[in-house]
Structures are given as structure tokens and as C-alpha cells.
């Protein structure tokens, strides 16, 4: 007996419903799998992004620490490869010091992976030392008085650069390029140093004082002259000769790499200067006379010497508004 038409129609309906339900279940499963895959990919990318950011932050922190070195950042690689589980990141460091402000550093770190992910952090940092910024790359000779007979021999690293700073009204010998002093008479120390003279004395005589700081003592003089050599291209020295010692001239082949400061005038020195050399800066709180055998070389002229007079850092200071995590 043939089935009736309504029965056949009901069977087709049930079959169609079953097929539709199977399609919906399959589609739902595929959609859920796709969403789960996207979520896993997003979570992995987010984790990788965080990991890159941590690496970039760590590299920036190590760059800040390297600013304490002499010279700053010298021992820090510009490009580094950091492996981590499931991949690795290449760290690229850029550092900049704007012209005329060698105490400022712009540190930029970019962490990248081969898959195209990257993180960036940048920061402006001020490196604080005992010296004012102007003294880090100033002319080789600073006087708070006039330059009289027998000027020193001055050699510059850059053609046409200023050779010496003099108070207004003091002229320079022929062949030397002068500029007017930016400080008031009697304030040369303040133009060079961030610390007061008593503060520097305490720092230089502390039991654990940096070897770069040297406060001259009477027992170090040789017949009224300074004949000891101090400093090197990588570790410049700061020699301060207090007013109580007068003006013991540099002589006997002394070679100072760094800064020499005389707290007394040197216009009436009974002992002749030289032969001696200063690679860096000579500053005298008064005039200078009879220094024809003294050679002054601008900082950066000596082989392997940095372009600036970098001394040990007393601290680091983030410039307001100088940090960001985007280009």
C-alpha cells in the first residue's frame, strides 16, 4: 500500500529540519572556533606587546644607568638581541645630545620582533655633574682678569673656535680669538661649578670621594710648582688649587687631562710656567702672565678623548615632559 502524501511531506520536513539543525550546529562550532582562534591570537599579540614594552623599558633603564659611565653611554651597545621563549626582540638605542647642551641626552629605545611587533619608549635626561653645562665644552682658557705678556699656546679641535674668555676691557694677544666673559667679576667659580667652594671641598676630601676630584695640597708642590700629571682621556680630572697656595704654575712636564682651577690670580707668579700641558680647560680667578711654555688643548683634541668634559655624574634628572611611549 503506497503511503499517503501527507506522510511523505512530513518525512521531508523532518529531514530538512535535521539538515538545517546540523548546518546550524556546524556553523556555530566553526564560528566559535574562529572566535577562539582570534582571541588566542589577540592574547598572544597582547602578551608579546607587553613583553616588548618590558624589554624596551628595561633597555631604557640600563641606558639611564650607563649615563653614569665615563664617557656616558660608552659601554652600552647600540643594538642588542634579546631572546625569549617563542621568539626574540632586537633592541635599538638612539642617543642624542643637542648642540651647546652636552648635559642633555635624548634616549630612544625601539624593541622589534621578526613578526613585525614593536614597542617604543623615549626620554630626555639631564646628566648632573659638579660642572655647569657651559664648562663641559668651553674654550680652553677662562680668565677673570687680563692676559698679559707670554700667552699660552692654544690648540683647538675646531677651526675658528673661541680660544679664551676674558672680562670686558681685556684684549687678547694677536692670533687668539676671544669672547667676553658671561660672568660678573669675582664670580668665575659660579660660572664653572654647580657646587659652592665649601661643598666641593667636602666632596673632594670625603673618604670615598671620586678619584676625579683633586684639591691641591702644599705638600704636593715641587719648589713652588705643580709637576704632577692627572686624568686620562676616559677619566678626566678636576684639579682645584686653593687661594691659600697662591698660583703654583704648571711645570716640569705636568700633563692634566680635564679642568684646572686657580682660586688666586696668576699675574705675579715668581716661578715660570711650563713645560706643561692641559687637555681641557684652564680657569684662573684673575689674570695670567708669563705662560708661554704652557700648552692648552681643547677638549676632544687628544686621541680617544670625548668631545665634552664629562666628569662623574652626581645624579640624573628627567626633563619635564621629556618621556613618551609613541613617536
Is a pLDDT exceeding 80 seen at residue 110?
A: yes
Which of 104-108, 126-130, 262-266, 291-295 is predicted with the least confidence, judged by mean pLDDT? 104-108
Closest residue by Cα to residue 97 from 310, 264, 243: 310
**Cα separation of 116 and 71, whole Å?**
34
pLDDT digits (tens, 9 = 90+) for 158-192: 778 899 999 999 998 888 999 999 999 999 999 99
Element (H, E) at 280: strand 276-284
The confidence score (pLDDT) of residue 5 equals 63
Element (H, E) at 197: helix 197-205
Is a pLDDT exceeding 90 seen at residue 294?
A: yes
- C-alpha cell at position 175: 692670533
pLDDT digits (tens, 9 = 90+) for 19-74: 887 887 787 777 777 776 676 555 565 667 788 888 888 888 888 888 888 888 87
The confidence score (pLDDT) of residue 323 equals 77
| Predicted TM-score (pTM) of this structure | 0.81
> Quick one: pLDDT band at residue 94, thresholds 50, 70, 90?
confident
Beta strand 79-84 with 87-96 is antiparallel
Mean pLDDT, residues 248-256 taken together: 95
The confidence score (pLDDT) of residue 200 equals 92
Mean pLDDT, residues 201-228 taken together: 90
275 close to 256: Cβ distance less than 8 angstroms: no
Amino acid at each position: 500500500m503506497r503511503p499517503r502524501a501527507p506522510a511523505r511531506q512530513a518525512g521531508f520536513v523532518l529531514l530538512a529540519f535535521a539538515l538545517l539543525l546540523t548546518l546550524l550546529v556546524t556553523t556555530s562550532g566553526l564560528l566559535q572556533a574562529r572566535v577562539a582562534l582570534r582571541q588566542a591570537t589577540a592574547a598572544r599579540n597582547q602578551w608579546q606587546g607587553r613583553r616588548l614594552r618590558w624589554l624596551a623599558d628595561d633597555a631604557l633603564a640600563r641606558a639611564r644607568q650607563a649615563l653614569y659611565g665615563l664617557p656616558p653611554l660608552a659601554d652600552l651597545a647600540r643594538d642588542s638581541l634579546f631572546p625569549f621563549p617563542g621568539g626574540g626582540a632586537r633592541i635599538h638605542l638612539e642617543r642624542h645630545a643637542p648642540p651647546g647642551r652636552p648635559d642633555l641626552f635624548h634616549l630612544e629605545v625601539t624593541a622589534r620582533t621578526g613578526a613585525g611587533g614593536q614597542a617604543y619608549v623615549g626620554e630626555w635626561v639631564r646628566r648632573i655633574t659638579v660642572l655647569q653645562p657651559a664648562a663641559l665644552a668651553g674654550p680652553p682658557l677662562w680668565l677673570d682678569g687680563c692676559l698679559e705678556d707670554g700667552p699660552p699656546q692654544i690648540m683647538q679641535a675646531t677651526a675658528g673656535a673661541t680660544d679664551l674668555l676674558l672680562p670686558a676691557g681685556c684684549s687678547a694677544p694677536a692670533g687668539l680669538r676671544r669672547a667676553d666673559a658671561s660672568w660678573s667679576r669675582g664670580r668665575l667659580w659660579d660660572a664653572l661649578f654647580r657646587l659652592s667652594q665649601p661643598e666641593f671641598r667636602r666632596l673632594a676630601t670625603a673618604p670615598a670621594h671620586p678619584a676625579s676630584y683633586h684639591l691641591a695640597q702644599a705638600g704636593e708642590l715641587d719648589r713652588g710648582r705643580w709637576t704632577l700629571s692627572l686624568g686620562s682621556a676616559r677619566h678626566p680630572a678636576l684639579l682645584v688649587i686653593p687661594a691659600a697656595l697662591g698660583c703654583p704654575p704648571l711645570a716640569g712636564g705636568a700633563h692634566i687631562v680635564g679642568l684646572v682651577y686657580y682660586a688666586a690670580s696668576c699675574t705675579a707668579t715668581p716661578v715660570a710656567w711650563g713645560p706643561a700641558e692641559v687637555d681641557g680647560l684652564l680657569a684662573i680667578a684673575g689674570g695670567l702672565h708669563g705662560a708661554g711654555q704652557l700648552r692648552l688643548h681643547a677638549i676632544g683634541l687628544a686621541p680617544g678623548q670625548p668631545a665634552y668634559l664629562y666628569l662623574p655624574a652626581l645624579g640624573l634628572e628627567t626633563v619635564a615632559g621629556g618621556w613618551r611611549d609613541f613617536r
